[in-house]
């Protein structure tokens, strides 16, 4: 029941961009350094996020990456789907195009996995990068106190 590092790193990178939202394009090297990820590897991962329409890129000197939308409108669920594909504990309850097995209609375990999937979707889609920024704010305030 693990995420690969793709989803893990993807969210880290997106949150980093959210923290610098409004400051123009952020070079990937900065993100990689701050989040402690190989920048060569992150380059490949951010390409996926770009193709999914979650970030915009600016090429050339002074270039970098910017969130495609404001942090409040980008959810963890979107990011994870982009990085790891449809959310589903097992293939037969995938959000899109589940490959049905022959006893799908009498399969009780399928009901279980559907409930698990629904909970996953519910929590991931309910958290936005904006929410995470607020959490960070609260956390840093309580730290200073």
Q: What is the 3-state secondary structure (H, E, C) of 105-125?
A: HHCHHHHHHHHHHHHHHHHHH
Q: Binding string to its own copies for residues 88 to 127, with x set by CB under 8 A, is what? A: xxxx--------------x-xx-xxx-xx--xx-xxx--x
Closer residue to its own copies in complex, CB, 8/20: 8
Please choose, out of 10-18, 55-63, 68-76, 98-106, the segment that lies near DNA by the rule CB under 7 A. 55-63
Closer residue to its own copies in complex, CB, 42/80: 80
Strands 55-58 and 64-67: antiparallel
CB of 111 to its own copies, least distance (A): 6
Task: Tell me the chain's radius of gyration from C-alpha atoms.
Answer: 18
Count of residues that interact with DNA, criterion CB under 7 A = 24
Q: Closest by alpha carbon to 95, among 113, 74, 72?
A: 113
Please give the Cα distance from 82 to 51 (Å, whole number). 9
CB of 137 to DNA, least distance (A): 26
For position 47 contacting its own copies by CB under 8 A, the verdict is: no
């Amino acid at each position: 029941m693990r995420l690969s590092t793709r989803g893990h790193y993807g969210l880290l990178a997106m949150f980093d961009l959210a923290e610098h939202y409004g400051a123009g394009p952020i070079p990937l090297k900065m993100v990689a350094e701050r989040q402690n990820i190989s920048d060569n590897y992150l380059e490949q991962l951010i390409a996926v996020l770009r193709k999914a329409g979650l970030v915009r890129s600016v090429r050339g000197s002074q270039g970098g990456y910017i969130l495609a939308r404001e942090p409040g409108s980008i959810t963890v669920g979107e990011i994870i789907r982009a990085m790891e594909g449809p959310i589903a504990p097992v293939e037969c309850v995938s959000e899109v195009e589940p490959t049905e097995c022959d006893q799908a209609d009498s399969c009780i375990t399928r009901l279980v996995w559907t409930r698990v999937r629904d909970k996953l979707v519910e929590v991931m889609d309910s958290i936005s990068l904006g929410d995470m920024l607020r959490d960070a704010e609260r956390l840093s305030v309580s730290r200073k106190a």
